[in-house]
Structure 1
Amino acid sequence: MKTWLISISVATALISSGTQAAGEAAAGDATAGKAKVAACTACHGPNGNALVPTWPKLAGQHAQYIYKQLMDFKSGARANAQMGPQMIPLSEQDFRDIAAYYSTQQQTPGTTDPAAAELGERIYRGGNPATGVTACTGCHGPAGAGLGAAKFPRVAGQHAQYLDSTLKGFRTGARANDPNGMMRDVASRMSDEEIAAVSQFIQGLTDWPPDSP
């Protein structure tokens, strides 16, 4: 309960301070961004729908979140051998434009493995009180739409394989660019089975109608 209350308090603080931060990506030009993503297509697929499940779908993702991740790749706050070098020649305006473009694209839907649906939904909606795993809905919403102003990403429809590796990266600390260590704290309490199940559930989740702006 204490961990849940702390997570909610941090999330509330981030949302309240997110209005100014949201403007960082608001100035992006989607038309300009379309002309800048040719190199991105090889991994992230046509219109941001990655065909290979180890890479994330960017289509329909919040522009603010994409912008932050690109900035973190460039600064090294988020380490990635493939992404880091590609960010070096790009400017902040390039990031804004790319983020704006992908945010306007339609994401392709995914499906959930029925065998993982029950546990995955239970973790996503209710967490695991016994081990202190908080519900994913607190930040990502009941339908997985996330919250752009707070840079909480849309997760609905994302590849399960990418989600699985991302959660394990947070668990080990290999990925550490989450605000106040929120995701690292959650993932550190999750078992491999829970991570696999919730990743499968999210892959088949839909955020329509959206539960957040």
Structure 2
Amino acid sequence: MKKIIITLALMLGVVGVAQAQGDAQAGKAKSATCAACHGPDGNSPLDMYPKLAGQHASYLATQLADYKAAATGGEGRANAIMGGMAMSLSEQDAADLAAYFASQTITPMATPEEVIEQGAALYQGGDIERGITSCIACHGPRGAGLEAAQFPSLAGQYPKYIAEQLHLFRSGERNNDPNGMMRSVAAKLTDQDIEVLSKYVSGLR
């Protein structure tokens, strides 16, 4: 399955270009300004900010590059706070920070009992009638994603943050998904779908 996904990712052009090699120890020393929102180990104390702990390093580095690009007038990922934070980061800084947070362990979440059945059905099988592809194809059975294709890990992430990103993809406000993959999926999701999926996937492990 992983070989198939990697091959598909290469065909679609979603695998990122070569990035600087990160140094986790150097990243730790540079992470002080990140701690206020994301926690010293990448486990944010507030659900309005994403957990960075355990996320794929290449994905984190790409997001920082996209924040910086958007903040400087290019195409990327627009966010007033993160744009300002990323402006002063070099490619090596981003790689070091990404390596540090990737080396940390995310605190697990629990999936509410009431969303397990509906969430599992949509996550694992999608909805053929509505043209919704399954989430498992890219994010894996345990929500771990796939680093080679820069599909992020979702397991353990705050449901509120996951839901917010799905809404942003659906509206098109977030558009740094390769080939519009997430925008295409999110466009077909209802508010109820987003709520259920967000709560379900956060509890995967």
TM-score normalised by structure 2 residue count:
0.91
Question: Hey, what does 1:24 align to over in structure 2?
Answer: 19
Two-structure CA RMSD over aligned residues (Å): 1.8
Equivalent residue letter for 2:84 = P
* 2:63–2:77 contact (8 Å) kept in structure 1: yes
Aligned counterparts of 2:198 and 2:119: Cα–Cα separation in 1: 7
Instruction: Give the alignment partner of residue 57 of structure 2, picking from 63, 81, 86.
Output: 63
Q: 8 Å contact 1:15–1:149 — kept in the other structure? A: no
Tell me if 1:184 matches 2:178. no
Aligned 1:92-103 pairs, distance under 5 A: 92-103=91-102
SS in 2 for 1:139: helix
Which residue pairs with 1:12 in the alignment?
Answer: 7
User: Would you say how many aligned residue pairs link Structure 1 and Structure 2?
Assistant: 196
Equivalence for 1:74: 68
TM-score, normalising length from structure 1? 0.87
Post-superposition shift, 1:14? 2.3
Aligned partners of 1:28, 1:11: CA distance in 2, in Å? 23
Within-5 A mapping of 1:1-213 = 12-15=7-10, 21=17, 23-25=18-20, 27-76=21-70, 77-206=76-205
- Relative distance call for 1:15 and 1:57 in structure 2 (3 A) is farther
The one-letter amino acid of 1:170's match is F
Q: Displacement of 1:12 after TM fit? A: 3.5
Mapped to 2, the partners of 1:135 and 1:82 lie a distance apart of: 32
Q: Aligned to 2:181, what secondary structure does the other structure show?
A: helix
Residue identity opposite 1:102 in structure 2: F
Which residue type is aligned with residue 108 of structure 1? T
Gap regions ≥5 residues in structure 2: 71-75
